[in-house]
Chains A and B, each alone.
Chain A
């Protein structure tokens, strides 16, 4: 199909950069190409990322490498149960000499905020992140401060059944575009990790950090390109069908969906919000962009559906089993399997 447009040219041009970024990330986070792509897609779609896994699985490493390869200012904050909102956001302190209040900016004023073990902090502190994540601004002592652009929150958390964890409020969960889980690396990858680790220790001692692959401006351009990826009516319908499927227990007479598809009744899930649908679309666009296309395929939607929606759907904290096992049994996949790709909204 001979087809060129400014957008498709731009997509093509960005491919080299994208593969370079991916290469860089994958060289650090070994054996997890799929998760690396998803994480990159999340940032390209301007979404916040939540990484949930056991300690020591490479969560922080992923967050770190993402921030540095994209050339963004980066600060890590360890969340503990006695962390206060002011510790995250910042506070005003009285300067005796100048006789004024001075603002001490918190770690949130970085482009990438790595909130490590976010679920160990009290809900109050967690909520302090809310405004920042949604509005890209914070209020300190009644003064509103703009946050830098681009602005990402990459949070990591331990599974909920771990000691000393608070569940994230649903409102905040909904603000994370994706929740990733890295899972154990396979033996080969782990061996490489062990081998590489020896090298890396040596290099770090020499003061070698990751070099940025792109500058801020390139990243912003790519993000703008992602929003312009074209979406056909069929894909929109598909997304609608998926989100409506999750609402069956909540909208009693959602007659429009017809009686064709039903997820089995014993599955309990929370409904997907319109923000979730928006995130899904945005993530699918970013996925299409990464896959060198200027239009979205249902495949893109399917690729991101689990990570975008599972944390919004699930009621019970998930057992920490491997990603592939999880995907096979999750609510998200049940929903995915109950919608016909070719004829998503059968009522039409």
Chain B
């Protein structure tokens, strides 16, 4: 604040003196807006970076248009700042000036450009959805606005648009690293703004000022973040029609292998009371796929009448130790959630999460931001002990003659092994003993033929094995189904608090995606069988083998591949530390929901009615704002003194301006009293009022008076100024 008042003050003084040595920018007519060369390029750089944060979400066409206009802008900047070091250039410039007098950009070209951009937005709108179209519009106007920086207000608008672009980038991504980047870019945007006003043109000095201001505002932001009511229509992040990530509700052989190239975070789990179960128990079920059409497995969306009753699980969990945990699901823009089956949902999430009859959980809305939920699992408890006829028929169905050789094998198996479990074990033995290979690069199969995989190529990924196994089971008369989800996870104890060692968290990445099968056996319910364990036991027991990691790093060409991390303890420790930080960020900042806010406030103020909570929030807000106000007031005591002085300065300066309007100028070197004397001689009718004003001002400036008297004097001065103005008006 003091900065602005000082600025204003400086301006007044400049007006008073009208010294030609003044800053040239302010001497130009009001309507011409000129940025210094350095600042213009800084603004351009800032624009590029702002757009870069959101570039991944933009459509190809829009991105092309934006790149084009930014390049054009750079070209214009370069041309307008080039030095006339040769005659040729000077000639060209005069020619140019003659040709175009409207400014550097021809309005015609600009209009064509605008129309092209708008058309692109309109045409691609159905494909991208409302949110992305609006983001397109925002970015496009942001880039286009830079061509018409004619007045200072245009500059303000441009900076504001840039901040909007940054804010909208946060819709799509909210992890710690990205948020930190956005904040630092915000800093840059503000510095660009300050560069224009600041008297010193030093970038780092201004960066420091902005840094200090932003740090000061953090306190307020934190208070508001915690107590400000999250009113749902305003606090929801708009749902983007963004690319879905993760599993899909259809799976064919070869699908999940592609997913394993991504090291994107899928979800995180923190166990509340105990350390996590062993790796081979961590089968995070996401979807159960029951429809098989000979090529791919599809999730059946049927009307779910028979939900698994909580009581039913209760009855079957005897002797099983419950495990409670919290899941923080990253935005996948899908609905499925993750659980270790069988699981009970914490009651708080009734409504927002729907348990399914196949012991999976669906979110009631698309997961567009981090979603947190609590579960209690009973590992080892049987699921689905009874199976109705419809389901049985569905889980035995397969298109006849789709894979004749497998059918043949199934027939043979059912002949040799009467017991279903023996039959399953026989298949696993077969896979184990024969020369099957587990690979991220499975050979392509013609028509997704399982026959071809099982008998010819004999190398594949989890889906291949799970598909073939499930098919064999169905063909041999055992109800079987395909389950997709994630296996394992990386345990990170760096997030653990000191007093509770168990409170680390598991991070599950996309490359942990997995598929397995479940067979139904009378009296035992659905049993999980993972054929992958037969071909690559390490994958199931402890995670990826070195071979797989090398395959992966060869496939994805990333700078920091996982095998690199695995081989360097230091890098891995660093990565885990960052992961822990990001986990806390997700848990406490991104995932801070209305419910958490409510819980926090209840923890502070006890269990009260919601209107009371609202009241408490409002009161807290008022109290904290007042406190902040007082603190700042206290910190700015000197500034306040300065402010009073400035007010007096302003009043006197206004009086001087008024007199200058009458043609009476005060020479800068003349003292206040001398000038008053001069007015008495030259303008007797103004003598009394102006002398009073001058005396007050002189006393205020130079006399040794107490702060209270100064405040009084300032008020007196205001009154005297009004009288002075009246006096002038009456004598005109």
Contact = CB atoms under 8 A, between A and B. Distances in A.
Contact of A259 (B21, B669, B670): B21
Contact of B671 (A5, A341, A346): A341
A221 interface: no
Nearest to A3: B705
B502 interface: no
Contacts of B22: 260
Contacts of B653: 342
A139 interface: no
Nearest to A293: B703
A336 B667 CA distance: 11
Interface stretch (A26-34, A79-87, A180-188, A229-237): A229-237
Contacts of B16: 342
A298 B13 contact: no
A338 B669 contact: yes
Interface in B631-662: 649, 652-653
B702 interface: yes
Contact of B19 (A230, A235, A260, A339): A260
B236 interface: no
A295 interface: yes
Interface in B675-708: 698-699, 701-705
Given A299-B673, A337-B667, A1 B649 contact: no
B545 to A, nearest CB: 67
A70 interface: no
- Which of B653, B702, B704 neighbours the largest number of chain A CB atoms within 10 Å of its CB? B702
B674 interface: yes
A262 interface: yes
B702 A342 contact: no
A1 B705 contact: yes
A346 B21 CA distance: 12
B709 A298 contact: no
B701 A232 contact: yes
Given A1-B713, A297-B671, A298-B672, A343 B703 contact: no
A296 interface: yes
B153 interface: no
B671 A230 contact: no
A297 B698 contact: yes
Given A340-B17, A342-B13, A343-B13, A297 B702 contact: yes
B399 interface: no
A117 interface: no
B668 interface: yes
A235 B671 CA distance: 11
Contacts of A340: 13, 17, 668-669
A52 interface: no
Interface residues of A, number: 28
Given A260-B19, A299-B674, A234 B702 contact: yes
A277 to B, nearest CB: 18
Nearest to B677: A299
A175 B481 CA distance: 107
B698 A339 contact: no
A1 B89 CA distance: 67
A341 B669 contact: yes
A232 B667 contact: no
Contacts of B702: 232, 234-235, 295-298
Contacts of B669: 336-341
Contacts of A260: 17, 19, 21-22
Contacts of B670: 341
Given A1-B699, A1-B709, A260-B22, A342 B668 contact: yes
A342 B703 contact: no
Contact of A3 (B21, B674, B703): B703
A232 B703 contact: yes
Interface string A217-261: 000000000000010101100000000000000000000000111
Interface in A292-338: 294-299, 302, 336-338
A341 B17 CA distance: 11
Nearest to B696: A1
A32 to B, nearest CB: 22
B712 to A, nearest CB: 9
A3 B705 CA distance: 8
Given A298-B672, A299-B673, A299-B674, A1 B21 contact: no
B673 A297 contact: yes
Nearest to B716: A1
- Which of A234, A259, A296, A298 neighbours the largest number of chain B CB atoms within 10 Å of its CB? A298
A339 B21 contact: no
Contacts of B673: 297, 299
A294 B704 CA distance: 8
A260 B668 CA distance: 12
A159 B653 CA distance: 45
A346 B11 CA distance: 11
B701 A234 contact: yes
B691 to A, nearest CB: 14
B125 to A, nearest CB: 55
Contact of B703 (A295, A302, A337): A295
A302 B674 CA distance: 11
Contacts of A261: 21
Interface in B1-34: 6, 13, 16-17, 19, 21-22
Contacts of A338: 669
Nearest to B706: A3
A88 B624 CA distance: 76
B19 to A, nearest CB: 6
Contacts of A295: 702-704
B199 to A, nearest CB: 9
Given A297-B702, A337-B669, A346-B13, A262 B652 contact: no
Contacts of A234: 701-702
B650 to A, nearest CB: 11
A341 B709 contact: no
A234 B703 CA distance: 10
Contacts of B668: 339-342
Given A342-B652, A343-B13, 15 more contacts: A1-B705, A3-B703, A230-B704, A260-B17, A260-B19, A260-B22, A296-B702, A298-B671, A298-B672, A299-B673, A337-B669, A341-B669, A341-B670, A342-B653, A342-B672
Q: Which 10 A-B pairs have the closest CB atoms?
A: A230-B704, A340-B668, A298-B671, A337-B669, A232-B702, A295-B703, A299-B671, A343-B13, A234-B701, A341-B671
9 contacts: A1-B703, A3-B709, A297-B671, A298-B671, A299-B674, A339-B668, A342-B16, A342-B652, A342-B672
Interface of A: 1, 3, 5, 230, 232, 234-235, 259-262, 294-299, 302, 336-343, 346, 348
